[in-house]
């Protein structure tokens, strides 16, 4: 047994060092050299250097003066450590009730008629619960509320929406979206 145990322990030690230490360090070093911004979380900083968010993760914005992102069920909302889908199916009464409540709240918040169409991304969470973008339709429906709350002209706010619309990846993947963090940061800069 000793003859088999010692080589097994040596193999365990070598593989632990290789796979558990050297390989992760090599991948981290390569990422830091080739993609330093992405490797460090794609953080967004304000003028003073303070971190205000990430280009990859949505965050909560409360108040009429801000554009709001997709709903999040991650932890207490927008909690990156609790990111996961809800596992509720499309016929789940719990999901249907939650969506109906969100539709009513969205219409009320944005001053829409009771029969106004609401973009699906405004009332449903994504698989990660942390999407940083909303649909262009969602942003355009929120623009009048944000403009009124900030005392800005609606065309001025819609122009900001257009400026912060991100096209399809590779020109054909996905749908255009609006980066909520970048758009809200641009609102702060408007005199």
pLDDT of residue 155: 96
107: its two tokens:
């219409």
pLDDT of residue 27: 95
Q: Flag residues of the chain having pLDDT under 70.
A: 74-84, 129
pLDDT of residue 49: 85
pLDDT, one tens digit per residue, over 3-23 is: 889 999 999 999 999 999 999
Each domain of the chain, given as residue ranges in start order, spans 2-36, 42-189
pLDDT of residue 81: 67
pLDDT of residue 191: 75
SS3 at position 191 = coil
pLDDT of residue 118: 95
* Residues in a beta bridge with 177: 135, 166
Q: What gap in Å lies between CA 2 and CA 124, rounded to an integer?
A: 59
pLDDT of residue 160: 96
pLDDT of residue 19: 96
Q: What gap in Å lies between CA 130 and CA 71, rounded to an integer?
A: 8
Q: Taking the model in full, what pTM does it have?
A: 0.78
């Amino acid at each position: 047994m000793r003859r088999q145990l010692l080589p097994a322990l040596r193999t365990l030690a070598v593989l632990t060092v290789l796979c558990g230490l050297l390989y992760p360090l090599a991948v981290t070093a390569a990422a830091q050299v080739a993609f330093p911004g992405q490797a460090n979380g794609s953080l967004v900083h304000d003028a003073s250097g303070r971190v205000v968010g990430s280009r990859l993760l949505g965050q909560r914005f409360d108040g009429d003066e801000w554009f709001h992102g997709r709903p999040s069920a991650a932890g207490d909302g927008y909690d990156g450590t609790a990111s996961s889908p809800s596992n509720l199916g499309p016929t789940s009464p719990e999901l249907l009730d939650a969506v109906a409540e969100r539709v009513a709240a969205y219409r009320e918040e944005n001053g829409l008629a009771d029969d106004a169409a609401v973009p699906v991304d405004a009332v449903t969470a994504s698989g990660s619960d942390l999407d940083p973008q909303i649909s262009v339709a969602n942003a355009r429906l929120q623009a009048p509320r944000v403009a009124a709350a900030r005392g800005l002209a609606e065309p001025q706010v819609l122009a900001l929406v257009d400026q912060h619309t991100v096209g399809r990846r590779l020109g054909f993947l996905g749908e255009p979206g609006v980066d909520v963090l970048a758009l809200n940061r641009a609102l702060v800069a408007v005199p």
